Amino acid sequence: MESLDTVLRRSAKSGRVSYADPAILHESSKSRVSFVPYFIRHSDHTELAGLIATERKGKAPLDFMVVEKKSVSLNAESTRRLLFALQKHLKVAESAEDGAYLLIKVDEGTAVLGSHEPAEVARALSKVLSEPTIAKHLEGVELSSELVSAFRGAIRLKEMVAAVSALRARLDANETNEQVYQRWCEEHSWAFGNAYVVRDDVRNIAAGDRIDLLLPTVIGGFRDIVELKRPNMPVLVWDKAHRNFYFSSDLSIAIGQVHRYLDVLHEEAAKGLRDHPEIVAYHPRAIVVIGRSANWQEDQLRALHGLNRRLNGITVMTYDQLLNQGERLVHMIQRDDTVEIQRVEEFDDDIPF
């Protein structure tokens, strides 16, 4: 359509209906299909209706005869449905790829979801929202509370998936810089389990004692400790004489270090730290993250599990186990919030045209 167009609306003999020139939809050497718009007047509004007419050409150049069996009359509701269908599918036609497309009606600035689940909408738009040029336009836009909640969940899920992928990439690249994993754990403390909420910014629990992470528990809010060591440090050593695994010297030193931190934190924060009374620790526990276990045998995993069971208040885990735990949390959220989509086989014979 040109940027400037003209519609000539004329009144019919009855005076109750107006019409405009037909819009040619299709034309061949023998026939043409056109849309004839009608404007039906009411006391308070005017409805748009129409006729999709199939016409057979006569002998004269301008001689056309309507083919009744191939013509369809559209009332106001049918016309609106046709318009909506065309607008909707024209948007889909702008993409060259097949797939499931989600279109959201916006009514006076508010998204109208209809039968769509908010979580489904949020997942569909999570990638769009990550674009800075689009996300900034959401400021001040009125959204329903359920959609806002779903958006937050979808965006958080996307962040969790990206975080797990980033941790895996660092481990696959044999990154050994402890500060890299320190920053990752600070930003994604959820990976330590759903028993914890976001970390504290405080790391100094006493003079000369600085820990890696303080994690508040969901129940009670009491703090636990996370101590990070490098992923290239050994975790277990095999004792040939006694045929058993035991903690490596690096891990034994870390356990001793953490034992001191637990004592200090319990003493200093039983009723709240001096400068941070909101931080309370009562019989805290500790997690030590060290080494790798991706290539471990069953007996090594069993040995670490058994040694952990015999430690009091301290748990040792490898970076691969932290990664697996993060992946399980993501999987649990995806499973609980996934809309099942039935897959159908595609056959050319099923195309209805």
pLDDT at 10: 82
Same domain, 28 and 118: no
Whole-number pLDDT of residue 230: 97
In this structure, the answer to whether residues 116 and 184 fall within a common structural domain is no
Using the predicted structure, report yes or no on whether residue 336 has a pLDDT greater than 80: no
Domain boundary among 36, 60, 93: 93
* Residues 180 and 301 reside in one and the same domain: yes
pLDDT at 109: 47
Query: Is 200 part of a structural domain of the chain?
Result: yes
In a domain, 325, yes or no: no
Residues 210 and 84 in one domain: no
Token representation of residue 226:
């996370």
Reply yes or no on whether the pLDDT at 300 is more than 90: yes
- Per the prediction, the chain carries an average pLDDT of 76
Amino acid 17: pLDDT = 81
Q: Does the residue 335 lie in any domain? A: no
Same domain for 314 and 184: yes
- Domain shared by 149 and 194, yes or no: no
Q: Cα torsion at 184, 189, 191, 195 (round to 10°)? A: 170
- pLDDT beyond 70 at 7: yes
Q: Is position 4 within any domain? A: no
Of 163, 187, 210, which one is at a domain's C-terminal end?
Answer: 163
Nearest-Å Rg of the Cα atoms of the chain is 34
In a domain, 343, yes or no: no
Same-domain pairing of 211 and 315: yes
Residues with Cβ within 8 Å of residue 211, at least 6 apart in sequence: 203, 205, 225, 226, 227, 261, 265
Q: Which of 173, 163, 120 is nearest to 327 (CA)?
A: 163
- State how far the Cα of 274 lies from the Cα of 338, in Å rounded to an integer: 46
Average pLDDT over every residue of 64-91 = 69
Confidence of residue 338 (pLDDT cuts 50, 70, 90): very low
Mean pLDDT across 178-190: 91
Q: How confident is the model at residue 11 (pLDDT cuts 50, 70, 90)?
A: confident
Whether the predicted pLDDT of 248 surpasses 50: yes
Q: DSSP for 91-146, please give it.
A: HHHTSSS-S-----EEETTEEE-TTS-HHHHHHHHHHHHTSHHHHGGGTT----HH
Going by their DSSP bridges, the two strands 23-27 and 31-41 should be labelled as antiparallel
Shared domain check, 251 and 295: yes
Return the pLDDT at 176: 95
> Both 77 and 125 in a single domain?
no
Same domain assignment for residues 115 and 250: no
Q: What per-residue confidence (pLDDT) applies to 211?
A: 86
Q: Would you say residue 325 has pLDDT above 80?
A: yes
Which whole number is the average pLDDT over 234-260? 96
pLDDT for 346 equals 32
- pLDDT for position 49: 79
298 in a domain, yes or no?
yes
pLDDT category at 267 given cuts 50, 70, 90 is confident
Q: Of 69, 93, 117, which closes a domain?
A: 93
Looking at per-residue confidence, does 216 or 195 come out higher? 216
Residues 247 and 303 in one domain: yes
pLDDT the model gives residue 234: 97
Most confident of 219-223, 308-312, 338-342: 308-312
Domain check: are 212 and 292 in the same one?
A: yes
Beta bridge mates, 204: 210
pLDDT in tens, 17-66: 888 888 877 777 777 788 888 778 777 777 777 778 787 776 665 566 66
**pLDDT(302) > 90:** yes
Residue 276 sits in which domain range?
A: 176-319
**CATH code of the domain containing 214:** 3.40.1350
**Residue 327 belongs to some domain of the structure:** no
Say how far apart CA 105 and CA 115 lie, in whole Å: 12
Say how many domains are in the chain.
3
Q: Is position 260 within any domain? A: yes
